[in-house]
A and B are shown apart, each in its own frame.
Chain A
Amino acid sequence: MRVALFLTCVNDTLYPDTGRAVVKLLTRLGVDVDFPMAQTCCGQAHYNTGYRHEAEPLARHFSDVFGEYEAIVTPSGSCGSMVRELYPRMGERARAEGRGDTLAATLAPVVPKTYELTEFLVDVLGVTDVGAYYPHTVTYHPTCHGLRGLGLGDRPRRLLQAVKGLELAELPGADECCGFGGTFALKNSDVSAAMGTDKVRNAESTGAEVLCAADNSCLMHIGGTMTRLRTGMRPVHIAEILASTEEEPAV
């Protein structure tokens, strides 16, 4: 299977460790991973801030870069839901604006082939035990776009539960938004910070060392709040936990 890694612009620039972890994990599971160098950004920030027309060229670019692959895997619930949920909607809107079916036709091929990482592992590869080892107490935050957009359900938790040495602590108010929301964190920073603080306090109450999620954007917001509140907890992307093994443990 020719699988392309869509790392997302945020991960590529700020969280390369997540990318390395995905490559390590998928390679270990026998998947042939490619990283198309021309990839950039899915256009989510543009789209969600109201710049749909600026997002369109990015979506086209995404389709050009990834269209040939059998599967596209991304370690981001929100970018995954951008492709799966919002690309079809962009096509519909273009049609409603009298621009024909071209955009919809361009974007259609990538939509069903795009998987968030945990979905790909559970649904496509059919594994929940990926042979990982991570001797820490972890609490899991299901991010909004993964939870409600993609409907990841309990896939991430099943994967975590199968990790050797890992103790899973239930997060109170788990399905409440952490307050990141892209440009929301800038435009409504007071409300965003209040939401982030509550999320971190809930995480702290579990006694876990690590808060894990399947999206580094949310983890950036939560992690930034954690260090500011001096909690001593760490944000870790789920890919890094799943990639960790006894031979090569993640810290």
Chain B
Amino acid sequence: MSGTYLGMPAFPEAAREAVGNETLRGNLRHATHTIRAKRAKAVTEVSDWTELREAGKRIKDHTLRHLDRYLEQLEESVTAAGGIVHWAADADEANEIVTQLVQMTGESEVVKVKSMATQEIGLNEALEAEGIHAYETDLAELIVQLGKDRPSHILVPAIHRNRGEIRDIFRAEMSEWGRPAPEGLTDTPAELAEAARLHLREKFLRAKVGISGANFMVAETGTLVVVESEGNGRMCLTLPETLISVVGIEKIVPTWRDLEVFLQTLPRSSTAERMNPYTSTWTGTTEQDGPSTFHLVLLDNGRTDTLADEVGRQALRCIRCSACLNVCPVYERAGGHAYGSVYPGPIGAILSPQLRGTGSEIDASLPYASSLCGACYEVCPVAIDIPEVLVHLRERVVEGGEVTREGNKVVLRPAKGHAAERAAMRAARWAFTHPGALRTGQRAASRTRRFHPRTLPGPGRAWSGTRDLPPVPAEPFRDWWLRTRGGKDGAK
């Protein structure tokens, strides 16, 4: 069920359902507000946060500007360390590569951890189609998978579930997938965690192939880095004989030194921890230790095209900390599923329409899924100006323009359904560049004020369904000013 959710309705419709779901709103509100407050505290503990944020931004920008060079360096160092590098231009190619790699091992089961990239490309479904079962081992991912559900948060994919729901899912589904839930399982966190641990342990010990993502890739040594809280990732990275890491090409940093910045900003921004409990790094293969075969699949899937966009490319700086989700008032009410992608919240609203294009209804609506309040930009540890990119993408939706798709420059036509709005914007622009016309309009509105409804027809109904309109005043300001000259020298 995970992967790319094509055929999604536009954001407003998808959000409507979430807004009306009291349990969901309660779960989300509680979770986001708790982590929000903790993050703010964790950040104030660091005296040079502003500098760290700026450094993170610079390192990422520098890397992206020379991405070709660093990718080649990475390939060389991974190969030198005994790994095998594969390049995947898009989702299909990546899925094919991974499927073949698994088939070569003769296995029909894999354990997975920490990989949004594989959800982005729908790897689990692709594997399933070839008879290979993929087991998610991150606790929240496990809940999502057992619940035949979709992730709704970058860091806490099951944020939309509460403890009671999780217990029900464990009781009903675990036996289908492996070790059943213990008898009389309650919804206390300790019991739920223990049930998951037992269930997963069995899989770790059995699995011969592991699939992971990575938070960072260090070009100078070919090292991959995963930061996590549970330790399940470390099991996945070390126990299987074959490890396949699928990573977006933008996850590179030039040197180990650069990690210093992100290992401070990422945990504080994401889990509000000073340091995450587990940081695992692996470099190629090592005799008698860990997997004996290591494959790195470097995924493009729209990233190079995104890089070609001057304003939008900053989205590729993202380190997936999820701070922007936790602070976003729209995410808090709409929930993660409304964004129609494994990347929800503010970052999803700017990343998905760039990686996938603005062709579908959901992707064309995502740039509008924001009140532009700016809270996301304020918390982002790599200073992505999300509101700026949102407005830039809105422009692409309503005005069209030149974009890069699959390496080629193409001119997009404006998306459908904006004709009336465009006409209104043009008319308003005309009136606003003709002050006389504006005044005539204001006077007409004032003269007919008694007849104005407090509710609106047409698209305005959305407003007046839940709010009252202000009454139109008897006299617009400019007429008062003309009449009184600002109260200075009497009527004119």
Contact = CB atoms under 8 A, between A and B. Distances in A.
Interface of A: 7, 9, 11-17, 19-20, 23-24, 27, 33-35, 37-41, 43, 45-55, 57-58, 61, 89, 93, 96, 144-145, 148-149, 175-177, 179-197, 220-221, 223-225, 227-228
A129 B460 CA distance: 41
Contact of A19 (B425, B459, B477): B477
23 contacts: A15-B473, A19-B480, A35-B478, A40-B432, A46-B425, A54-B429, A57-B429, A89-B388, A144-B373, A145-B374, A177-B373, A181-B372, A184-B370, A186-B463, A187-B368, A189-B463, A189-B466, A190-B16, A191-B330, A195-B330, A195-B371, A196-B466, A196-B467
B468 A16 contact: no
Contacts of A12: 442, 476-478
B438 interface: yes
B422 A61 contact: no
Interface stretch (B85-93, B168-176, B391-399): B391-399
Given A13-B442, A148-B378, A177-B329, A53 B477 contact: no
Nearest to B460: A186
A188 B477 contact: no
Contact of A14 (B426, B433, B472, B478): B472
B19 A50 contact: no
Given A24-B487, A54-B426, A190 B374 contact: no
B462 interface: yes
Most buried by A among B11, B25, B463: B463
B12 A189 contact: yes
Contacts of B388: 89
B195 to A, nearest CB: 35
B432 A61 contact: yes
Nearest to A147: B374
B262 interface: no
A223 B375 CA distance: 23
A237 B19 CA distance: 30
B429 A46 contact: yes
B359 interface: no
B395 A37 contact: no
Interface residues on B, range: 35 or more
B448 to A, nearest CB: 13
A148 B429 contact: no
Contacts of A96: 310
Given A12-B478, A190-B16, A35 B435 contact: no
A23 B374 contact: no
A35 B371 contact: no
B371 A51 contact: no
A188 B375 contact: no
A224 B425 contact: no
Contacts of A184: 368, 370-372
B260 interface: no
Given A14-B472, A40-B433, A181-B370, A35 B481 contact: yes
B150 interface: no
A1 to B, nearest CB: 15
What 7 A-B pairs are tightest by C-beta distance, nearest first?
A181-B371, A50-B394, A224-B467, A189-B462, A177-B373, A16-B477, A19-B477
A11 B470 CA distance: 12
Contacts of A20: 477, 480
Given A53-B399, A144-B373, A224 B391 contact: no
Contacts, number: 199
Contact of B391 (A17, A50, A58): A50
A188 B11 contact: yes
A48 B371 CA distance: 10
Contacts of A93: 311
A11 B20 CA distance: 33
B156 interface: no
A193 B20 CA distance: 11
Given A37-B482, A186-B459, A195-B329, 5 more contacts: A16-B475, A51-B425, A54-B426, A148-B377, A191-B369
Interface string B429-441: 1011101001000
B482 A23 contact: no
Given A188-B12, A190-B16, A37 B368 contact: no
Contacts of A47: 391
Nearest to A26: B486
B470 A220 contact: yes
Contact of A179 (B329, B465, B473): B329
Contacts of B371: 144, 177, 179-182, 184, 192, 195
B208 interface: no
B445 interface: yes
A43 B426 CA distance: 11
Contacts of A223: 468, 470
Contacts of B373: 144, 148, 176-177, 181
A139 B375 CA distance: 21
B473 A48 contact: no
Given A23-B487, A58-B429, A51 B12 contact: no
Interface in B407-430: 421-422, 425-426, 428-429
B15 interface: yes
B433 A9 contact: no
